[in-house]
Amino acid sequence: MIISIVVAVADNGVIGRDGGLPWRISSDLKTFRRLTMGKPLIMGRRTFQSLKKPLDGRDNIVVTGNTDYQPQGAITANDFAAALTIAQACAKERGVGEIAVVGGTAVFAAALPVADRIYKTEVHGNPAGDATFPAVDWSQWQEVSREALPRGPSDDYAATLVVLYRRRA
Provide the whole-model pTM: 0.96
| Strand 117-123 relative to strand 2-10, pairing | parallel
CATH fold, domain 2-166, is: Dihydrofolate Reductase, subunit A (3.40.430)
DSSP E strand stretches across 11-158: 14-16, 40-44, 59-63, 75-77, 98-101, 117-123, 131-132, 141-149
Instruction: Count CB neighbours of 144 within 10 A.
Output: 10
65-104 b/e (C-beta count within 10 Å ≥ 16 → b): eeeeeebeebbbbeebeebbebbeebbeeeebebbbbbbb
The tens place of each residue's pLDDT in the chain, 169 residues long, gives: 999 999 999 999 999 999 999 999 999 999 999 999 999 999 999 999 999 899 999 999 999 999 999 999 999 999 999 999 999 999 999 999 999 999 999 999 999 999 999 999 999 999 999 999 999 999 999 999 999 999 999 999 999 999 999 998 7
pLDDT for 168 equals 84
Q: 58-75 pLDDT, tens per residue?
A: 999 999 999 999 999 999
Identify the pLDDT of residue 36: 98
Q: In the chain, where are the structural domains located? A: 2-166
Contact (CB, 8 A) for 42 and 80: yes
pLDDT of residue 52: 86
